[in-house]
């Protein structure tokens, strides 16, 4: 291992190196992380050649080991397979409970220790149907990749919906079961959807037979998945959709929103969740789409209404969540579409005369997007206030919440986060500095597309009064 000696993460004095066979699931080791490096550069972070990583799995390729690693303190979307040459064996840290093995291994250097286990087998279908919520309807098994609804694949878990409400914090997972290992690893290599090819960020429970394909192909309108271009062509010849199913409830210029009922359009809703899961990690898989509505945003051209992003929303939310999951497809990210989705979700809440909040936990990107939306929306309201006579303009937190449908707690946390709240002469006041105003006007320049509430054709439904969803 020539690279090992140059690792700057060297915390040990000795230069004893473990045999490669000692590296197994749960070990921590510095990895020469070329892809992290380039991604860090792209994100403006100072590049670090060696990064501590946890080994999630290993596999034998051409008589050498490949390791699936998770970079410590980095988002799981950067996880990847690396070849053994990229590991610094001198720094290997065995999992804590293996510390005895650790000292033994250093002394005896076994050539083929017990820890050399093959990758774990595929687990049986995960049975978490119906946890925590009464199901009104049975869930539907996913179609096979070939598209025959009547032949469910034995090794495929049921297609989930995602929600944060049943989220199991990662710390409370066992981290040792084969099932856990599999769902921690990206399983789809590449996905083609319409004009775009996307590299998934996380595991998504597509049929196992698709996971060995270099690329999987989705119909961009019904989101059906197939394993080859040929199958897609066959499907396209039959598929009549050129927009998502459901009602178009908004159109302005090329942007439309379709409302899809997870009960009425189950197959579409489930396919959408499979797509979303490739880019959403922190939501627990949830196996019933019936209690959810899906608001799908599209961009129109002469070939149809193309999927850009969506958010889902519970028909009845006991916590007044107005968004369960939200996603902008990667090719469209960082162009303002996430804010359009968020803005739309609050416009619906306004029509319901309710305040709402996104379901927790938020992802790192979700938090950034919501913080930015909340700050801009609240500042916009405050800047439109007029003072009277000598009195400075004033508005209560409740009034801000009523006007924006942003929940009071989110208003308060946003004001605190922006450092705008000050205690002055016995009361709290909001103090807008020139710096804040400049930053606000700069950020609003980027927000070119806005939701025009006049173009929403939608009436709220009281789902609690309906016999069934």
CB of 239 to Zn ion, least distance (A): 3
Could you say which of 337, 344, 346, 374 contacts ligand ACO (CB under 6 A)? 337
Look up tokens 């009064």; give the residue: 465
Q: By CB under 6 A, is residue 346 in contact with ligand ACO?
A: no
92: number of Cβ within 10 Å: 24
Answer yes or no whether residue 335 interacts with ligand ACO by CB under 6 A. Answer: yes
Residue closer to ligand ACO, measured from CB, 115 or 378: 378
Q: Which of the following is catalytic: 253, 359, 380, 402?
A: 359
Tokens encoding 393: 């303009």
* 144 forms part of the interface with ligand ACO (CB under 6 A): no
Q: How many CB atoms lie within 10 A of CB 61?
A: 11
Alpha carbons 385 and 408: distance in angstroms, whole number = 19
Q: Name the residue nearer to ligand ACO (CB basis): 88 or 343.
A: 343
Residue 363 makes contact with ligand ACO by CB under 6 A: yes
- Residue 328 binds which of ligand ACO, Zn ion, none (CB < 5-8 A, kind-dependent): ligand ACO
Report the residue from 334, 450, 457, 466 that binds ligand ACO according to the rule CB under 6 A: 334
Does 160 engage in binding with ligand ACO (CB under 6 A)? no
Q: Which does 362 bind (CB under 5 to 8 A by kind): ligand ACO, Zn ion, none?
A: ligand ACO
Q: Which residue's CB is nearer to ligand ACO, number 208 or number 333?
A: 333
Among Zn ion, ligand ACO, none, what binds residue 372 when CB lies within 5 to 8 Å by partner kind? ligand ACO
Here the tokens at position 467 are 């016999």
Instruction: Supply the minimum distance, in Å, between the C-beta of residue 241 and Zn ion.
Output: 5
CB of 244 to Zn ion, least distance (A): 11
Q: By CB under 6 A, tell whether 7 contacts ligand ACO.
A: no
200 contributes a contact to ligand ACO by CB under 6 A: no
Q: Is 356 in the site for ligand ACO (CB under 6 A)?
A: no
Q: Which is closer to Zn ion, CB of 105 or CB of 145?
A: 145
Place of tokens 């899809």: 260
- Rounded CA separation 82/345 (Å): 41
Task: Determine whether 359 is an active site residue.
Answer: yes
How many residues sit in the footprint of ligand ACO (CB under 6 A)?
25
3-state secondary structure the chain: CCHHHHCCCCCCCCCCCCCHHHCCCCCEEEEECHHHHHHHHHCCCCCCCEEEEEEEEEEEECCEEEEEEEECCCCHHHCEEEEHHHECHHHCECCHHHHHHHHHHHHHCCCCCCCCCCCCCCCCCCCCCCCCCCCCCCCCCCCCCCCCCCCCCCCCCCCCEEECCCCCCHHHCCCCCHHHHHHCCCCCCCEEECCEEECCCCCCCCCHHHCCCCCEEECCCCCCEECCHHHHHHHHHHCCCCCCCCEEEEEECCEEEEEEECCCCHHHHHHHHHHHHCCCCCCEEECCCCCEEEEEEEEEECCEEEEEEEEEEECCCCCCEEECCEEECHHHCCCCHHHHHHHHHHHHHHHCCCCEEECCCCCHHHHHHHHHHHHHHHHHHHHCCCCECCECCCCCHHHHHHHHCECHHHHHHHHHHCCCEEEECCEEEECCCHHHHHHHHHHHHCCCCCCCHHHECCCCCCHHHCCCC
Judged by CB under 6 A, does residue 284 bind ligand ACO? Answer: no
Selected range binding ligand ACO among 7-15, 211-219, 327-335, 411-419, rule: CB under 6 A:
327-335
> Which residues are bridge partners to 55 per DSSP?
69
Out of Zn ion, ligand ACO, none, what residue 293 binds, judged by CB under 5 to 8 A for its kind, is none
Query: Which of Zn ion, ligand ACO, none binds 219 (CB below 5-8 Å, type-dependent)?
Result: Zn ion
Instruction: Output 129 or 333, the one with its CB closest to ligand ACO.
Output: 333
Stretch that binds ligand ACO, among 228-236, 256-264, 325-333, 428-436 (CB under 6 A): 325-333
Q: Which does 359 bind (CB under 5 to 8 A by kind): ligand ACO, Zn ion, none?
A: ligand ACO
**Considering beta carbons, is residue 356 or 366 the nearer one to ligand ACO?**
366
Among 51, 163, 328, 355, binds ligand ACO (CB under 6 A): 328
Q: According to the binding rule CB under 6 A, does residue 257 interact with ligand ACO? A: no
Considering the rule CB under 6 A, would residue 75 count as an interface residue with ligand ACO? no
Residue in the shown chain whose Cβ atom is closest to ligand ACO: 338
Torsion of CA 320, 325, 330, 332, to 10 degrees: -40
Looking from the CA of 80 toward its CB, the CA atoms found within 13 Å total 17
Closest to ligand ACO by CB, 90 or 410: 410
366 binding ligand ACO? (CB under 6 A): yes
Q: Does 339 bind ligand ACO (CB under 6 A)?
A: yes
Active-site residue list: 359
Chain residues binding ligand ACO by CB under 6 A are: 279-280, 323, 325-328, 333-339, 358-359, 362-363, 365-366, 368-369, 372, 443, 446
């Amino acid at each position: 291992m020539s690279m090992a000696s140059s690792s700057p993460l060297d915390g040990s004095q000795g230069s004893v190196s473990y045999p490669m066979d000692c590296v197994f699931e749960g070990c921590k080791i510095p990895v020469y992380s070329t892809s992290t490096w380039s991604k860090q550069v792209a994100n403006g972070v100072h590049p670090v050649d060696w990064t501590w990583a946890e080994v999630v799995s290993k596999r034998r390729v051409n008589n050498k080991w490949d390791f699936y690693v998770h970079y410590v303190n980095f988002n799981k979307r950067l996880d990847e397979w690396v070849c053994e040459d990229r590991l610094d064996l001198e720094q290997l840290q065995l999992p804590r409970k293996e510390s005895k093995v650790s000292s033994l291994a250093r002394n005896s250097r076994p050539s083929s220790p017990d820890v050399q286990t093959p990758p774990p087998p595929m687990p049986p279908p995960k049975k978490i149907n119906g946890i925590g919520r009464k199901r009104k309807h049975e869930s539907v098994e996913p179609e096979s990749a070939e598209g025959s609804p009547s032949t469910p694949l034995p090794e495929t878990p049921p297609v989930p919906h995602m929600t944060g409400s049943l989220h199991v914090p990662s710390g409370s997972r066992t981290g040792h079961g084969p099932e856990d290992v599999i769902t921690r690893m990206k399983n789809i290599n590449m996905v083609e959807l319409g004009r775009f090819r996307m590299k998934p960020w996380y595991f998504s429970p597509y049929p196992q037979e698709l996971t060995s394909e270099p690329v999987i192909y989705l119909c961009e309108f019904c989101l059906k998945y197939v394993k080859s271009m040929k199958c897609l062509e066959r499907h396209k010849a039959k598929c009549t959709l050129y927009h998502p199913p459901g009602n178009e409830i908004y159109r302005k210029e090329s942007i439309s929103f379709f409302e899809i009922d997870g009960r009425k359009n189950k197959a579409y809703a489930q396919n959408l969740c499979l797509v979303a899961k490739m880019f959403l990690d922190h939501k627990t898989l949830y196996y019933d789409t019936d209690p959810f509505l899906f608001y799908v945003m599209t961009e129109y051209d002469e070939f149809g209404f193309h999927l850009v992003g969506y958010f889902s929303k519970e028909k009845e939310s006991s916590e007044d969540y107005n968004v369960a999951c939200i996603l902008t497809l990667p090719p469209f990210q960082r162009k303002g579409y996430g804010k359009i989705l968020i803005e739309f979700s609050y416009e619906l809440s306004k029509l319901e005369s309710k305040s709402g909040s996104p379901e927790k936990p938020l992802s790192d990107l979700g938090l950034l997007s919501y913080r930015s939306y909340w700050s801009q929306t609240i500042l916009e309201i405050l800047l439109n206030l007029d003072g009277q006579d000598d009195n400075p303009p004033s508005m209560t937190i409740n009034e801000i919440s009523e006007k924006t449908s942003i929940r009071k707690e989110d208003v308060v946390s946003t004001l605190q986060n922006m450092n705008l709240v000050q205690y002055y002469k016995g009361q709290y006041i909001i103090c807008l500095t020139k710096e804040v105003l400049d930053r606000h006007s700069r950020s609003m320049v980027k927000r070119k597309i806005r939701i025009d509430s006049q173009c929403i054709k939608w009436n709220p439904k009281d789902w609690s009064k309906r016999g069934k969803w």
